[in-house]
Amino acid sequence: MPLGQVPLLKTDGLDINQSNAIINWAVRNGDLPNLSCEEASKSDMVTETCREVFDGVRLPAFGAMMAIAEDKKEERAAAFRDTAKAKLTEQLPKIETILKHVGAGKESINAGKLCLGDLYLLNIGLLAYDLGLCDSVPAAAMAINKATPHKNDRVAAFFIKEKDTKYFPF
């Protein structure tokens, strides 16, 4: 692992770490449709909101973990997960708000077109799944999360290959 952290994507002879870098790799190497300026702007708003939500979870969670001695691995892991759960619960309303603002459809942000924002929503959905908080994810986001893998063969293949991979290793 380049920085000694997860997530890590091993693909095409390349080890890619950092969630956003992995998502951007998928966008560049995928077959996503071209978007109009309006569609891209909607996707960008959702993408940036998801980044804000993710940072609002991971930064305090890692802070809580780092406040505990390294030799107390179970206590560190519990502090991380407990903080991450609490922070994700606090942050999730932002997802619902932005999806309403952009007029997201039932299966994607832009009707019939998979976009980067959909992949970022998927990232938040995977985080919620790993933390046992799927019931807290806004219904619109869950609908998009369920539809997204079926819209792109590479995304679907990734889910099949990585279905048992934990989002956070602790």
Q: What angle do CA 36, 120, 83 make, to 5 degrees?
A: 150
Average pLDDT of every residue of the chain: 88
89-129 residue pLDDT tens: 999 999 999 999 999 988 899 988 888 899 889 889 989 98
pTM listed for this prediction? 0.81
- CB-count burial class (<10 Å; 0-12, 13-18, 19+) for 149: middle
Q: Which pLDDT belongs to residue 121?
A: 92
**Domains assigned to the chain:** 8-161 (1.20.1050)
Q: Which pLDDT belongs to residue 3?
A: 63
Q: CB–CB of 48/101 below 8 Å?
A: no
65 pLDDT band, cuts 50/70/90, is very high
4 pLDDT band, cuts 50/70/90, is low
Structure tokens at 86: 């609490």
Contacts of 48 (CB under 8 A, 6+ apart): none
- CB-count burial class (<10 Å; 0-12, 13-18, 19+) for 128: buried
What count of other Cβ atoms lies within 10 Å of the Cβ of residue 2? 9
Distance (Å, whole) CA 59 – CA 126? 17
